[in-house]
């Protein structure tokens, strides 16, 4: 860490003192089909965002995350739908008239300007003295108060990221859009910078939408996650809710490792080959379940038909692959007890389990 971390308890004044009630952002029926190739990159996207909230758009490459962000920023024209910012229709407004900040993947800093001049760039409309004061304030906020005279190439990737953020936050936007903001950083710097960025946005009181294909990153920084597939929003909710209650096998496996198991549900219980288990919500008839590796306990049992066939030591814990008849399960276990390959084990589910429901609306928890 190059500077004192900024906590979430240091809010700056909000962008506007008298904002109307209701969500900051309201997106309905947003669609985009590209003429070249005919790809439907966004299909009836709908969600809301509250003031100061941080949403991650998560999904595999090509699912439409960047297209969605670019439509919100005004860099791509939607074919259908509406975007309201504090109730104002900005669907077809020019980017500069939206009052939305955008942090580009490559930071887009001007190489010939120093750090202070880069931050001042967006403040050209006001007085020079005010721009200077605001830019210095922003550099202090991002922990780079002493770096104003440096050129971008004299900074690390993480520091450049913070200059880009300072430049965006200088105009006090109610909403900041970030496209894969950590992709140019190495693994250690990514983890450090993502928390910095979250804290800075929270301190500034700006809401944010962040595009990422990294589920761990989405869970670490976002208040809510919107999972996308093939241009559609398939689930939206808090990281905890989406992880524990994925609606489909796709969401379950995109949000970490998962074992998909079949069962027959009767209200709050489901009958499976592991015995009768409690369900996190009621269901009826044949269902599929998502069992996370940490929801399964292993005990050595020479009489069991299930056998450890592979393992991966990960320091604080280890993963086991267990062959049980014609199915294979992945199980997470602490390092207190170690099972050798070939050990016969009994599997027990230690938690209530979530039924998948691909027909369920993306919803909000
Ligand atoms: P990645 O994580 O790889 O950046 P993404 O989820 O952000 O992917 P988009 O960049 O939004 O996905 O692209 C969605 C789909 O639209 C892809 O199939 C892509 O090839 C297509 N697409 C994007 N931009 C254009 C364009 N300008 N013209 C034609 N097709 C496009």
Ligand 1 pocket member 213 (CB < 6 A): yes
Residue 5: pLDDT over 80: no
Taking residues 109-135, report their average pLDDT.
87
CATH fold of 25-244: Rossmann fold (3.40.50)
Could you report the per-residue pLDDT of 268-295, keeping only the tens digit for each? Answer: 999 998 889 999 888 999 999 999 999 9
CA–centroid distance, residue 161 to ligand 1 (Å):
24
Residue with tokens 């993502």: 194
Ligand 1 pocket member 29 (CB < 6 A): no
CA–centroid distance, residue 61 to ligand 1 (Å):
8
CA–centroid distance, residue 77 to ligand 1 (Å):
14
Taking residues 150-172, report their average pLDDT.
88
Q: Determine the atom of ligand 1 nearest the C-alpha atom of 69.
A: 11
CA–centroid distance, residue 63 to ligand 1 (Å):
7
Task: Report whether 78 contacts 152 (CB < 8 A).
Answer: no
Instruction: Please state the pTM of the whole predicted model.
Output: 0.86
Instruction: State the DSSP string of 172-239.
Output: --SEEEEESTTTTS-HHHHHHHHHHHHHHHHHHT-EEEEEES-HHHHHHH-SEEEEEETTEEEEEE-H
Residue 145: pLDDT over 80: yes
Least confident of 88-97, 112-121, 176-185, 313-322: 176-185
Angle 351-355-356 (CA atoms, 0-180°, nearest 5)? 135
For 257-351, give the CATH class: mainly beta
Name, in order, each residue with C-beta under 8 angstroms of 365's C-beta and a sequence gap of 6 or more.
237, 238, 241, 245
pLDDT of residue 17: 47
For 70, 157, 159, 329, the CA distances from 189, given in Å and listed in that order, are 26, 8, 10, 33
Q: Which of 238, 73, 256 is nearest to 65 (CA)?
A: 73
Angle 32-359-58 (CA atoms, 0-180°, nearest 5)? 50
Same fold, 25-244 and 257-351: no
Ligand 1 pocket member 32 (CB < 6 A): no
Name, in order, each residue with C-beta under 8 angstroms of 149's C-beta and a sequence gap of 6 or more.
114, 115, 116
Residue 364: pLDDT over 60: no
pLDDT of residue 180: 86
Ligand 1 pocket member 41 (CB < 6 A): yes
At 350, is the pLDDT very low, low, confident or very high (cuts 50, 70, 90)?
confident
Could you report the per-residue pLDDT of 202-250, keeping only the tens digit for each? Answer: 988 899 999 999 999 999 999 999 999 999 999 999 999 999 999 999 9
Q: Measured between alpha carbons, how far is 83 from 102 in angstroms, rounded to an integer? A: 16
Residue 45: pLDDT over 70: yes
Ligand 1 pocket member 226 (CB < 6 A): no
Task: Report whether 231 contacts 59 (CB < 8 A).
Answer: no
3-state secondary structure of 71: helix
Task: Report whether 177 contacts 73 (CB < 8 A).
Answer: yes
What are the extents of the domains in the chain?
25-244, 257-351
Q: Cα-flanking dihedrals φ and ψ of residue 14, to 5°?
A: -65, 160
């Amino acid at each position: 860490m190059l500077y004192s971390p900024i906590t979430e308890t240091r809010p700056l004044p909000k962008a506007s003192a008298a904002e109307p009630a209701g969500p900051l952002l309201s997106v309905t029926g947003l669609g985009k089909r590209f003429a070249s190739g005919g790809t439907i990159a966004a299909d009836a996207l709908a969600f809301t965002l509250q003031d100061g909230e941080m949403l991650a758009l998560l999904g595999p490459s090509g699912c439409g995350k960047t297209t969605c962000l670019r439509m919100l920023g005004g860099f791509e024209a939607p074919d259908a739908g509406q975007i309201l910012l504090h109730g104002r229709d900005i669907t077809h407004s020019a980017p500069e008239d939206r009052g939305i900040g955008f942090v580009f993947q490559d930071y887009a800093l001007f190489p010939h300007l120093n750090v202070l001049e880069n931050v001042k760039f967006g403040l050209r409309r006001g007085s020079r003295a005010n721009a200077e004061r605001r830019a210095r304030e922003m550099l202090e906020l991002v922990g780079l108060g002493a770096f104003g005279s440096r050129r971008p190439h004299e900074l690390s990737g993480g520091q450049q990221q913070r200059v880009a953020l300072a430049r965006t936050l200088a105009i006090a936007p109610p909403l900041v859009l970030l496209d894969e903001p950590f992709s140019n950083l190495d693994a250690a710097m990514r983890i450090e910078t993502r928390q910095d960025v979250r804290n800075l946005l929270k301190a500034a009181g700006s809401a944010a939408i962040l595009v990422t294909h990294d589920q761990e990153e989405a869970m670490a920084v976002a208040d809510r996650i919107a999972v996308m597939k093939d241009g559609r929003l398939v689930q939206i909710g808090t990281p905890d809710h989406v992880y524990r209650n994925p609606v489909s096998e796709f969401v379950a496996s995109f949000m970490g490792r998962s074992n998909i198991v079949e069962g027959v549900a009767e209200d709050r219980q489901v009958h499976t080959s592991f015995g009768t288990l409690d369900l996190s919500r009621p269901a009826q008839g044949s269902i599929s379940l998502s069992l996370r590796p940490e929801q399964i306990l292993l005990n050595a049992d020479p009489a069991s038909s299930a056998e450890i066939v592979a393992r991966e030591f990960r320091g604080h814990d280890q993963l086991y692959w267990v062959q049980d008849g014609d199915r294979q399960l992945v199980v997470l276990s602490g390092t207190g007890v170690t099972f050798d390959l070939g050990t016969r084990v009994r599997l027990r589910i230690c938690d209530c389990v979530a039924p998948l429901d691909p027909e369920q609306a993306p919803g909000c928890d």
